[in-house]
Chains A and B, each alone.
Chain A
Amino acid sequence: MELTREEEDMLAGKQGATKRVAMEGLVQLGRAYGAPRMVEIGYAHVHAGMALYLEDVEMIEELAGQNARFSVPTSVNIANADTVNWQQTGAPEKLARLQQRAGTAHHKLGSSCTFTCTPYWAGHWPTWNMHMTSIESGVTVFCNSVIGAKSNRDGYFSVYAGLTGRYPLFGYHLDENRRGNMLFAVDAQLSGTTDFSCLGFHIGKVVGDGVPVVTGFKRRPSLDELDALGVGMATSGGVALFIIPQITPPYASIEQAFAFGPVPDPLPVRRADIDAVYDYFCTSPTGDVDIIHVGCPHASFEEMREYAEMLRGKKVSANVEFWITTSRAVRNMSQEQGLLKVLEAAGAKVIADTCPISCHFARTVSPDPALGVVPPTIGTVLVDSAKQAKYVRDMIRCDTLLAPTAQVIEAAIAGRYAGPTAQGRTP
């Protein structure tokens, strides 16, 4: 692997131990994938340091303690607790205090402390052709497919890339890998983010870690719908990039999406395929639910406006907990707009920095009595996102119901979900 003088210096430790370790890791990763050289990145979305995992916050603190600094604009991924209003989710104070320490460390490192899976709604919007890294696969697929930036599905090494400003040239950083390998023709009326989330989940299952080219939309999907589509794909498959001609930069046509090579026969996607995903995630035999959740991925300001319109003057039933999860940046915007008041008056819990998966999943796999963390006791969760449904069901291992946002909010008001349940669907 060919390195520049500066990269060699980092590898030799001339720019400090932190960059040496980071560059050693990046070089090993690059060699594994035959990368010829490094590229300069313009943005990194990095690991928060998760309070529910053993010595995980300490990893970030250690970097900050070594006086390391991120060398590119850096946003921070979702955390295990709302670091301001942790009581809302029943998080133990010890856990919240530990999570707050990650924020302090990130401030030192120079990160923008977004604590979100949707940093783009918090203002982190790279450009077309910009190399970047992301620890969150939903961010990878959004930035590749909607913005036209270049990102792989990374893990912790997004931190290493952010520290050095470098990443090995392989995968979706290479134009030759940014081309379609399957063609989908959508032949269904779709409305709202849940439909798009289910469409994405369906496509991801079929395409695996390929690049789906998607056509047939009756109208231009909204930004929120595009977000839901990509996150759905990244959940069921290893998708990092989808191409919608005329939306995904720079693809103007189906032919260009396949690099002017052979175009495969289109696979039709019908309403029944979308409905099958709803069915798949309706495992509860009744409409009784414990937690009702919207905001996966973290809600945009537009979505906060939608929720507020539906809840204005209404009351969430005392029988259920209704969670809206978003970033603190969007929560602040919503507060200034007067939306937060409307939502809280209706009895919604507006939670930032985390989500049901992030604050309950690790309680399931790694309960820690020292932090007061015990496995959760949840019967059924009603959600409007296929991603949240999948991880709630498979990881927290409780029953799920999946419905469009409007029906989910109606259920929060009624205290019960009146739509189809597992019993209603399975003969």
Chain B
Amino acid sequence: MKEFHARGIVSGKGAGPALVSEEAISFLGDIDIKSGRVVGDLASVRNASVRGTVLIIPYTRGSAGAWRFLYQLFKHGNHPAAIVSNIVPDPAVIQGAILAGIPTVCEPQGDFKEAIANGQRVEVEVKDSIGIVRLG
């Protein structure tokens, strides 16, 4: 098992298979809340479901409405188990993740980007702003 440190943004613990997006994601429009599927123009993850995955993204694309769609994904039971973003997500995304209780980290350290692959089991744990990402 490999362990990476990261900045903890939203507290909690979540695990699931990795879903690695090469493109930035907008929670308003890119993901269908009723199915959890990626419907936006994101070539690397198109049609994949985010449900139960650890969503790995470079950053989030801005919309002040993002919180609602992330929260609605949760209400429909289609939310990711955790989010790992290279860059700190937009305030609206953080607000949605807190409401939905989705553990979120950013700035994973070391060679995380090289180590991570689609489908790999990932565990994210955040406590007191300290994030840990475990691959195994």
Chain A interfacial positions (CB closer than 8 Å to B) = 25, 28-29, 31-33, 50, 53-56, 135-137, 140, 152-157, 171, 209, 234, 238, 365-366, 394-395
Closest B residue to A171 by beta carbon equals B91
Taking a contact as CB atoms under 8 Å apart, the answer to whether B62 and A209 are in contact is: yes
B67 near A156 with CB under 8 A, answer yes
Stretch at the interface among B17-25, B28-36, B49-57: B28-36
Known: A135-B64, A137-B64, A366-B34. A28 touches B92 (CB 8 A): no
- What 1/0 mask marks residues of chain B from 66 to 107 whose CB sits below 8 Å from any chain A CB? 111001100110000000000010111011101100000000
B129 within 8 A of partner (CB): yes
Of the residues A136, A157, A234, A394, contact of B95 by C-beta under 8 Å: A157
- Give the CA-CA distance A28 to B129 in the complex, in Å: 8
A31 partner, pick from B29, B75, B96, B129, beta carbons under 8 A: B129
Please state if B64 and A154 are interface contacts (CB–CB under 8 Å): yes
CB distance from B44 to the nearest CB of A (A): 21
How far apart sit A56 and B68, CA to CA, in the bound complex (Å)? 9
**Quick check: B64 and A155 within 8 Å, CB to CB?**
yes
Q: Is the CB of B62 within 8 A of A54?
A: no
**Cα A366 to Cα B10 with chains together (Å):** 27
Interface of A is mostly: loop
Query: Which of B33, B34, B68, B129 has the most chain A CB atoms closer than 10 A to its own CB?
Result: B68
**Chain B CB within 10 A, most for which of A33, A155, A156, A209:** A155
Which residues of B come within 8 Å of A, CB atoms?
A: 7, 9-11, 29, 32-34, 62, 64-68, 71-72, 75-76, 88, 90-92, 94-96, 98-99, 129
Quick check: B32 and A28 within 8 Å, CB to CB?
no
Whether A155 contacts B75 by the Cβ 8 Å rule is no
Q: Which chain A residues border B71 with CB–CB below 8 Å?
A: 156
Question: With the chains together, A29 CA to B95 CA distance in Å?
Answer: 7
* Closest B residue to A140 using CB positions: B64
B34: chain A residues at CB < 8 Å are: 365-366
Residues of chain B within 8 A (CB-CB) of A156 are: 67-68, 71, 95-96, 99
Complex Cα–Cα for A332 and B130 (A): 52
Closest 4 CB pairs of A and B: A155-B67, A238-B62, A137-B64, A155-B95
A136 to B64, CA, bound (A): 7
Q: Which residues of A contact B75 (CB under 8 A)?
A: 53-56
- Output the least CB separation between B98 and chain A (Å): 5
Complex CA gap A54/B33 in Å reads 10
| B99 touching A28, Cβ below 8 Å | no
Min CB distance B83 to A, Å, is 12
Across the interface, which residues of B come within 8 angstroms of A28, CB to CB?
A: 9-11, 94, 98
Closest residue of chain A to B7, judged by CB? A32
Can you report 20 residue pairs joining A to B where beta carbons are below 8 Å apart? A25-B95, A25-B98, A29-B91, A31-B129, A32-B9, A32-B88, A32-B91, A50-B68, A53-B72, A54-B75, A54-B76, A56-B68, A153-B92, A155-B65, A155-B68, A157-B95, A171-B91, A238-B90, A366-B34, A366-B72
Q: Which residues from B are CB-within-8-Å of A54? A: 72, 75-76
* A154 to B94 alpha-carbon distance, docked (Å): 10
- Provide the residues of chain A in CB contact with B65, threshold 8 Å: 155
Taking a contact as CB atoms under 8 Å apart, the answer to whether A155 and B96 are in contact is yes
> Which residues of the partner chain B approach A152 to less than 8 Å between Cβ atoms?
91
- Distance between Cα atoms of A56 and B69 in the complex (Å): 11
Contact of A155 with B62 in the complex, beta carbons under 8 Å = no
Identify the closest chain B residue to A134 (Cβ): B64
